[in-house]
Amino acid sequence: MPVHDPERFTSALRDLESEVDSSAAPYVEEALERVATPTSPGLAGPDESVEVSPEEIADRIDHTQLRPAATDGQIDQLCEEAMTYGFTAACIHPTFVPRVARQLDGTNVTPCTVVGFPHGANRTATKAQEAKRAVADGARELDMVLAIGAVTSGRYADAEADIRAVVTAARDQEDAVGGRVPVKVILETALLTTAQMAVACVIAHQAGADFVKTSTGFASAGARAEDVALMRQVVGDALGVKASGGVGSVADFRRMIAHGATRVGASGSVAIMEEARATA
């Protein structure tokens, strides 16, 4: 069953194309091309055949602690839980990156941090410097916030340049750190229309990002299955899709994966894992 009404969604993109200037129109045209043939997972609906074991669930979770008042003790607990349950990454604020990198050194858990968080309204040079410092401090994945206002204003080339600056900062340090540093772009889907969301995915792809991500967890809504499906449709197999915000149960997790997510960010990861193990 289609996740979005194809005719209504195409109409929304056409309306957006008529509103933006000529320099922005190619981004909308690319989005139109990518949604022309619905896929599953994607706009054609979820992949209902998806089954995941507890180990596979853990391997797709970014265990997250981004509360503003998080303590050293809570960060240490996050690391311990990530190692115990085998989560793929531990996502924390930049100030905690050195502490987390030390604790996770020699483990399979990746230190991950945020850039331009939570509003994405920093100057581009500031985001690039933040990314550079985060990698130098030990971060090996970066979740950056889209220049949301640039997208809602129709300044798509500016939004692309903003992402590209962070991607370049990460790529420039890959030889020094011995591997790729993936960049995930947080769209903050609650603040975008579906048409803007599709265009934002095009922007992230063209800027060289590795993932698109739904939410910071600090807006009015988090991950929604229909948004994940739209993001998967637009990026295809070229990028990962991270669902983040409000994923608190095994059912939530499976719904996001079925709709096209390849990674899930959660602060309630331990509860998800305990439920998964109890019902395996």
Q: Is 242 a catalytic residue?
A: yes
Which position among 127, 184, 213, 227 bears the catalytic label? 213
Q: What is the mean pLDDT of residues 155-170?
A: 98
CATH code (residue 33): 3.20.20.70
The 10s digit of each residue's pLDDT in 143-159 is 999 999 999 999 999 99
* pLDDT the model gives residue 4: 83
Structural domain contains residue 110 = yes
The 10s digit of each residue's pLDDT in 217-229 is 999 999 999 999 9
The 10s digit of each residue's pLDDT in 103-161 is 999 999 999 999 999 999 999 999 999 999 999 999 999 999 999 999 999 999 999 99
Structural domain contains residue 1 = no
pLDDT of 2 > 80? The answer is no
Structural domain contains residue 191 = yes
- Interatomic CA distance for residues 160 and 123, integer angstroms: 13
Structural domain contains residue 101 = yes
- Interatomic CA distance for residues 239 and 225, integer angstroms: 17
Give 3-state DSSP helix, strand, coil % of the chain, rounded to 5. Answer: 50, 15, 35
The 10s digit of each residue's pLDDT in 176-200 is 999 999 999 999 999 999 999 999 9
Does this model's pTM top 0.75? yes
Structural domain contains residue 18 = yes
* pLDDT the model gives residue 1: 62
The 10s digit of each residue's pLDDT in 39-97 is 999 999 999 998 999 999 999 999 999 999 999 999 999 999 999 999 999 999 999 99
Structural domain contains residue 54 = no
| Beta-strand relationship, 141-145 and 110-115 | parallel
Instruction: Round the average pLDDT of the chain to a whole number and report it.
Output: 97
Give the chain's domain count. Answer: 1
Structural domain contains residue 52 = no
Structural domain contains residue 249 = yes
Domain that holds residue 168: 6-47+60-279
* pLDDT the model gives residue 275: 98
Q: Is 132 a catalytic residue?
A: no
Which position among 62, 143, 227, 252 bears the catalytic label? 143
The DSSP secondary structure of 33-70, one letter per residue, reads HHTSS--TTBTTB--TT----HHHHHHTEEEEE--TT-
Q: What is the mean pLDDT of residues 35-42?
A: 95
* pLDDT the model gives residue 280: 87
Q: Is 213 a catalytic residue?
A: yes
- Interatomic CA distance for residues 241 and 223, integer angstroms: 11
- Interatomic CA distance for residues 99 and 177, integer angstroms: 17
